[in-house]
Amino acid sequence: VMWCFSQVKGAIDEDVAEADIISTVEFNYSGELLATGDKGGRVVIFQHEQESKNRPHLRGEYNVYSTFQSHEPEFDYLKSLEIEEKINKIRWLPQQNAAHFLLSTNDKTIKLWKISERDKRAEGYNLKDEDGRLRDPFRITSLRVPVLMPMDLMVEASPRRIFANAHTYHINSISVNSDHETYLSADDLRINLWHLEITDRSFNIVDIKPANMEELTEVITAAECHPHQCNVFVYSSSKGTIRLCDMRAAALCDRHSKFFEEPEDPSSRSFFSEIISSISDVKFSHSGRYMMTRDYLSVKVWDLNMENRPVETYQVHEYLRSKLCSLYENDCIFDKFECCWNGSDSAIMTGSYNNFFRMFDRNTRRDITLEASRESSKPRATLKPRKVSTGGKRKKDEISVDSLDFNKKILHTAWHPKDNVIAVAATNNLYIFQDKIN
């Protein structure tokens, strides 16, 4: 697959406003819509335009469909703390009617948004004028039936449900269940199960808070529902373990059904072994047979039937292993990278530093490093593979580890559910790349 540039969204300005930093990217189930959330609490939804009939060999572009303010900064008066409006996650609901629904969450509150289109307007009311003024009843001499007239498309976003006050700690994940009725939300210590219709109650299904907080050594970092089995979900921890739970077994899933952990390699042990083993993202494959986890230096694919080790391990940026001390000092070691599958589960993608992102083909075992940059942003320009030189001798076009820009990190990426179209969030810019169609 040859990847080429398609579009870039966002300001070109060198000065990046904190609120514009993209914090989550997600395609909907059909791939028609692409949603981004930012630190300012806004959600921007892009819609895929139909391919033009003149040039069917080009994929359509994604254009802004709707923008709305999902979360506002709040103040917790009891604790004198400000609650950030940053959108941590967006998850689409499967489409059931003309409207689109998505869940968006910040640290504390999850909201269900309905995005609906209005492209018709009723005209010819009996009691009202076209400008809304009430007609004088004596003037009404005949009855008429209002007619629907086309109007400019208006996309409205309205909050339909607000799921609040259920999390003491910061929400890191939400995941819609395959039953399309429930979803789970996970914070550092607890996971709650919600019904989409009920906002005043949620079931707590996992609670790892110790009786004495001083004994806390592990937190929940990510959670996801199984794509097909509505009773199964997984959650990952800061110690590099994944627990698979079955909600049929007990109301409180503190006891896992499966426990995934790879034994540590004693030769690579360091002071930072635990920190780099902390899992930042967990994603089921579309098939439901595998799951993928992202820790600081690698991506691992696990077979759900084998708990003692992953079936595949891909090194994302092994050249950083010798730099862990510096990365610890500048806090980069705590960065939480996400990962994603392609539609057929044959490839996986994750981000790195210097606006690099990596893709791994599971069948051919080939990997590629690409860069999301303005320089390679010419329309339909093929992206050049990038390489980081690890040895002393730096070849031409290679970049040395010390020249990497650790402020340019790609934490959020998304892959279209069907096509080879990817969305890569680079700070405040959203890059859309697609495969070259010949």
Partner 1 sequence: MVYAFHCSLKMIMKGQKRKFPPEDVEVSDRCSPTWESQRQFVFSVSLSKYQRGQELPEPSLRRSVLIANTLRQISLEACRAPCVEREMSPCSSSSALQGKERESAFSEVTAAKHHSAVGFTNSHPALGSCPVPSSNYLSNCATNRCPASYHLNTSDVPLSVGDEDEDWGSMSTDPDFSLSAAISSILTALDSTIDGSPQAALRTPLRSLENLSRPSEGSMAGVKQGVRGYGGSWEQHQQQEEEEECRMRESNMEAMRSSYLSDLTVEDLFQDIDTSLLERDMGVLGFRGSGGGYPAGDDLLRYLPPFSPSSSTSSHPFSLSLNQNLKCLPSFSTFSPLSSSSCSSPSLSLQPSSPFSGQNHVREGLELEHLMEILVES
**Considering the complex, what minimum distance in angstroms separates the CB of residue 174 from partner 1?**
17
**Considering the complex, what minimum distance in angstroms separates the CB of residue 408 from partner 1?**
21
* Alpha carbons 427 and 16: distance in angstroms, whole number: 8
SS3 308: coil
Measured between alpha carbons, how far is residue 204 from residues 53, 166, 167, 190, 420 in Å?
A: 51, 9, 10, 7, 38
User: Sign of dihedral through CA atoms 349, 352, 357, 360?
Assistant: negative
Q: Report yes or no: 117 and 153 within 8 Å, Cβ to Cβ.
A: yes
User: Sign of dihedral through CA atoms 302, 102, 87, 355?
Assistant: positive
- Which region holds residue 288: left if phi is over 0, alpha if psi is between -120 and 50, else beta? left
Q: Report yes or no: 174 and 183 within 8 Å, Cβ to Cβ.
A: yes
* Alpha carbons 64 and 245: distance in angstroms, whole number: 39
If the CB atoms of residues 211 and 251 are measured against partner 1, the closer one turns out to be: 211
**Considering the complex, what minimum distance in angstroms separates the CB of residue 206 from partner 1?**
15
Burial track 227-255 (b if 16+ CB lie within 10 A, e otherwise): bebbbbbbbbbbebbbbbbbbeeeeebee
Quote helix, strand, coil % in the chain, to nearest 5.
Answer: 10, 45, 45
If the CB atoms of residues 335 and 361 are measured against partner 1, the closer one turns out to be: 335
If the CB atoms of residues 138 and 271 are measured against partner 1, the closer one turns out to be: 271
**Considering the complex, what minimum distance in angstroms separates the CB of residue 356 from partner 1?**
21
If the CB atoms of residues 269 and 418 are measured against partner 1, the closer one turns out to be: 269
If the CB atoms of residues 59 and 317 are measured against partner 1, the closer one turns out to be: 317
Q: Report yes or no: 301 and 359 within 8 Å, Cβ to Cβ.
A: no
Residue 89 tokens read as 């996650």
Q: Report yes or no: 150 and 122 within 8 Å, Cβ to Cβ.
A: no
If the CB atoms of residues 61 and 74 are measured against partner 1, the closer one turns out to be: 74
If the CB atoms of residues 175 and 237 are measured against partner 1, the closer one turns out to be: 237
**Considering the complex, what minimum distance in angstroms separates the CB of residue 334 from partner 1?**
6
Residues that bind partner 1 (CB under 8 A): 78-82, 165, 168-170, 188-189, 211-219, 221, 238, 267, 269-272, 274-275, 278, 322-326, 328-329, 331, 334
**Considering the complex, what minimum distance in angstroms separates the CB of residue 124 from partner 1?**
53
**Considering the complex, what minimum distance in angstroms separates the CB of residue 357 from partner 1?**
23
**Considering the complex, what minimum distance in angstroms separates the CB of residue 87 from partner 1?**
17
Taken as a whole, the chain contains a residue count of 438
If the CB atoms of residues 8 and 219 are measured against partner 1, the closer one turns out to be: 219
Instruction: State which H helix or E strand residue 327 sits in.
Output: helix 324-329
Residue 118 tokens read as 């209005």
In this structure, the dihedral spanned by the alpha carbons of residues 326, 330, 336 and 340, taken in order and rounded to 10 degrees, is -60
If the CB atoms of residues 96 and 267 are measured against partner 1, the closer one turns out to be: 267
**Considering the complex, what minimum distance in angstroms separates the CB of residue 143 from partner 1?**
56
**Considering the complex, what minimum distance in angstroms separates the CB of residue 187 from partner 1?**
9
If the CB atoms of residues 236 and 420 are measured against partner 1, the closer one turns out to be: 236
If the CB atoms of residues 76 and 129 are measured against partner 1, the closer one turns out to be: 76
**Considering the complex, what minimum distance in angstroms separates the CB of residue 271 from partner 1?**
5
* Alpha carbons 46 and 44: distance in angstroms, whole number: 7
CB-CB neighbours of 351 under 10 Å: 25
Residue 358 tokens read as 């990596």
